Every structure is written in structure tokens, then in C-alpha cells.
Amino acid sequence: MILKPVRMPAGTITMTMHELMRLLAWLSPSFPTGAYAYSHGLEWAVECGDIGDETALGDWLSDVLAHGSARNDAILLRHAHRGGDLARLNDFATAIASSRERRAETLDQGTAFIAAAAAWHPPELPERVAYPIAVGALAARHGIDEDATTTGYVQGFATNLISAAVRLVPLGQSAGLRVLAELEQIILTVVNETRTATLDDIGGCAFRADIAAMHHETQYTRLFRS
């Protein structure tokens, strides 16, 4: 059974129901990757006053998505989806982590993701694997569309950080959902702009978010692991 194509600014995505079910399962907040334990430095940003309401949260996440680690993850996922030397790509993904906690965040989630996905027979990957590499490689193994996988991953990235902010600021659920709705176009822009990106295009300028991740390592009171 074929779903009606999902309209995107630069084309369409066609998926079977079976493929959609798998992607929804893998990227669900309930899939046991431990994502709920990581704030990507957001906890420090809240403590120091950078984020105190939904407007500030939206601005922060917009920068991380468009100019920071979320964009880099999208590029890495796409290249993992296309195959090649996944061990070398994983080494690169690990090397570009901007802090110790960011490195642990991607490796812990990726390794947990592959372990939880055992029922779907994931491909052979390094023992410790970065999260976008794990997701891209598994989706490719099952023939799931690269654009759909990238969209789901970036949306999940944003959703997890919004969930962390709802608990930390704190914000109400309605405020969190308003932020997510406002990020939709940025998420699609990241998906479209990374479609033709090479590994040489990896980089970023979300410096405050990187600094937040570094400061979080020594933050006195912490609820999250990053």
C-alpha cells in the first residue's frame, strides 16, 4: 500500500505503510535511546538565563537547527544512508563533537538505538556508533526514504529539546507545542539544504550552544546528562 505523497518545498516523499510504521517506531520518544536524559546544553542555558520563555527557546533552537549540531547530524545521517565506509564516517562524527558530553550524547544514543533495533536486524556498525550514523544506516537497510528519515530525525531532535525545556524552564505543554509548530519551516529548510551537502559542508556557528554544552560538564546541580 502506498501513502499519498507528502508535499515538501523541493519535492515529494513516497513511502509504504510498512516503511512509515518502522520510521515512526524508531524515532518515537518511547524508543529506548535514553534521549530524555540529555538536554544538549540546554540545562545550562536555562540556569544562566539565556532561555526563560518560549520565545527565547524558539530562537535558541532555530540557531541549533539551522547553524549547529542538528544540521551537521542531518548531513551525517544522509551520508550514512548512502553507505560507504561507515566506520570512517563514525570516526568523523565522533571527532567533530564540540565537548565531552556532546560526544557521549551521540554515542550513547546511537549505541542504544542499534541495541533496541535488534528485531529489525541492523547492519554491522562500530561497537560505539553516533546516533545519526545509526539511524541513517538502519533506514537505508530497510529501503526507507532518505528525506523522510532526515525529516523525522531533525523533528525528533527538536522535540526532545523542547521536552527538556518544558521541564527545565518550566514551560507548559501548550507553549512547547507552539515552539514546535513555529520550527516546522526551519526543519524543512534544514532537510532541503542538506540534501546536496558534502562532508566538507559540516561546520557551524551556534557558538553559545556549544559553550553551554561545555559549561554543563561542571554545572553544580544537574538533572540531565548533557
| Element containing residue 208 per DSSP (H, E) | helix 207-216
Residue 7 pLDDT: 44
Residue 4 pLDDT: 40
Neighbours of 168 (CB within 10 A): 18
The 10s digit of each residue's pLDDT in 46-75 is: 999 999 999 999 999 999 999 999 999 999
The average pLDDT across 116-120 equals: 97
pLDDT band at 12 (very low <50, low <70, confident <90, very high): confident
CA angle 102, 106, 111 (to 5 degrees): 145
Single out the residue of 220, 6, 201, 216 nearest to residue 98, CA to CA. Answer: 216
The 10s digit of each residue's pLDDT in 121-172 is: 999 999 999 999 999 999 999 999 999 999 999 999 999 999 999 999 999 9
Residue 11 pLDDT: 57
> For the chain, what percent of residues have pLDDT higher than 90?
87
Q: Where are the domains of the chain?
A: 35-216
Distance separating alpha carbons of residues 217 and 213, to the nearest angstrom: 7
Phi, psi of 158 (to 5 degrees): -65, -45
Superfamily of segment(s) 35-216: Urease accessory protein UreF (1.10.4190.10)
Q: b or e along 112-150 (b: 16 or more beta carbons within 10 Å of the residue's beta carbon)?
A: bbbebbeeeebeebbeebbbbbbbbbbbbebebbbbbbb
Distance separating alpha carbons of residues 63 and 74, to the nearest angstrom: 14
Residue 13 pLDDT: 79
pLDDT band at 101 (very low <50, low <70, confident <90, very high): very high
Distance separating alpha carbons of residues 136 and 27, to the nearest angstrom: 12
Question: Is 32 in a helix, a strand, or coil?
Answer: coil
